[in-house]
Structure 1
Amino acid sequence: MSELQNIKADKVVDARGTSCPGPILAAKKSIAEIEPGQVMEVLASDAGTKKDLPAWCKKTGHEFMGMLEDAGDIKLYIKRMK
């Protein structure tokens, strides 16, 4: 997980304070704003996002790189694949 702390995201999406499906909708909208191969960081506070976002990545063909948690904030990393 230490490699996640060193990732410089190409785009940061702040979906804190929203509950499902807010973080997924924010990720879906924002993934189109980066190029394939680039990394997006999604900030969330809803615990459901920890399982919803990896499932969304699997369904859409993007790579879920992992997540970090810090004092209730969740940082999830996605690499755009197509």
Structure 2
Amino acid sequence: MDEKEMKKNLDKMTFKDTILELENIVKSIESGDFSLEDSLDKYERGMRLIGRCREILRDCEQRVKKISEEQEAE
């Protein structure tokens, strides 16, 4: 999967799906059953997933802020 496809797939992921994949990555790395290279690939994927979580949370925060401002204006 190339960089653009990976980004596209991340953009479609829900917060819940992202967290579940992160949990699986952590478990697999902790198991020690993978080579250093595979663990590094999993770590890289995990960092991308963390970025996606932050993006989702930032969007939610902005929505809450907008809703609150609209309520205050009424």
> Could you say which TM-score interval applies, normalised by the shorter chain?
0.3 to 0.5
**Higher helix proportion (structure 1 or 2):** 2
TM score, norm. by length of structure 2 = 0.33
Identify the structure with bigger relative contact order (alpha carbons < 8 Å, sequence gap 6+): 2
